[in-house]
Amino acid sequence: MSYDPLETYRPGGLPPRDFSAIIQTCSSNVQRLAQCTSQIKNLMSQLGTKQDSSKLQENLQQLQNTANRLAKETNDYLKELGSLPLPLSTSEQRQQKLQKERLMNDFSAALNNFKLCREKYQRKRRKPLPGQELGPVSLQMKGAEKSSWSHLTVMKSGIRCKLKKTM
């Protein structure tokens, strides 16, 4: 296998491409990123409901992984786009500049929307889901009278102490 010293990095090891092909790929990725974000929002609305399950969590994780991959790939292609030689015609240069700016604005909007969605998902994951919190438990200590500390919230993932003195 020979290596061309002038060969530059191409996302996913793809062969060199022209401006139009990169723009088309990036546009498609931006649309897919927006679709992933929409699907994530839809699935997030099911968190904490009867539809919440490990399968739902897996689907959310898979969509996030896909969105992350699309964002990275698109960012790499945009870098490559910036390294392409400019066309000779000033009108083509202007047209390419407008296309690139529009694409970058669309990508930025889709990426910001995904980031907000991901942050909301992370906040939602930190809250205990219905069924995880088992509620108050009365404690009786061996060799002592009934405990005056009677409220303890037990979580499936551990114990959260919220003690109240009851006399």
- If one compares 138 and 75, the residue with the highest pLDDT of the two is 75
77 and 110: one domain? yes
Structure tokens at 120: 């909301």
46 and 109 fall within a common domain: yes
Tally of domains in the chain: 2
**What range defines the domain where residue 163 resides?**
128-167
CATH of the domain at 66: 1.20.58.70
Residues 82 and 119 in one domain: yes
Q: Are 105 and 134 in a shared domain?
A: no
**pLDDT computed for residue 82 by the predictor:** 87
DSSP three-state, residue 149: strand
Whether residue 133 sits in one domain with residue 111: no
Task: Verify that 111 and 51 share a domain, yes or no.
Answer: yes
17 and 95 co-located in one domain: yes
For the question of whether the overall pTM of this predicted structure is more than 0.75, the answer is no
Q: How confident is the model over 87-97, as pLDDT tens digits?
A: 899 999 999 99
Residues 111 and 166 in one domain: no
Contacts of 141 (CB under 8 A, 6+ apart): 147
Written as one string, the DSSP assignment of 85-147 is PPPSSHHHHHHHHHHHHHHHHHHHHHHHHHHHHHHHHHHHHHSPPTTTB--------TTSSSP
Q: Which of 17, 13, 22, 12 is nearest to 100 (CA)?
A: 22
The answer to whether residues 115 and 138 touch, using CB atoms and an 8 Å cutoff, is no
Would 102 be classed as within a structural domain?
yes
Give the three-state DSSP class for 150. Answer: coil
Q: Is residue 61 part of a domain?
A: yes
Q: How do residues 15-57 score in pLDDT, each as one tens digit?
A: 557 899 999 999 999 999 999 999 999 999 998 889 889 899 8
Question: Sorting pLDDT into bands at 50, 70 and 90, what band is 72?
Answer: very high
44 and 119 co-located in one domain: yes
Q: Kindly state whether residue 6 falls inside one of the protein's structural domains.
A: no
Dihedral over alpha carbons 105, 109, 111, 116 (to 10 degrees):
160
Separation CA 142–CA 79 (nearest Å) = 68
Instruction: Please indicate, yes or no, whether residues 62 and 135 belong to a single structural domain of this protein.
Output: no
The pLDDT value given to residue 48? 84
